[in-house]
Amino acid sequence: MKIHLPFHILFLVFLPILTEAQNSSGIRNSIDSIFQFQQRLPLQAVTLLN
């Protein structure tokens, strides 16, 4: 179960980003959102672990 949990979290977090990227006109918005996600990832991981 510990192996599957991170994949589910990544899937749940990336799914809105991918759908938002498809809705928006440009690829640049998806790139910016992915960079913002990478910057937010440590904070989310800490809050999830706590």
pTM over 0.85: no
The pLDDT profile of the chain, 50 residues, written as one tens digit per residue, is 555 566 677 777 777 777 766 665 566 666 777 777 767 666 666 666 65
Q: What was the pLDDT predicted at 42?
A: 66
The count of structural domains within the chain is: 1
Which run of H or of E encompasses 31?
A: helix 27-49
Q: What was the pLDDT predicted at 22?
A: 64
Query: Distance (Å, rounded) from C-alpha 50 to C-alpha 47?
Result: 5
Tokens of 50: 């706590």
Quote the domain boundaries for residue 14.
4-49
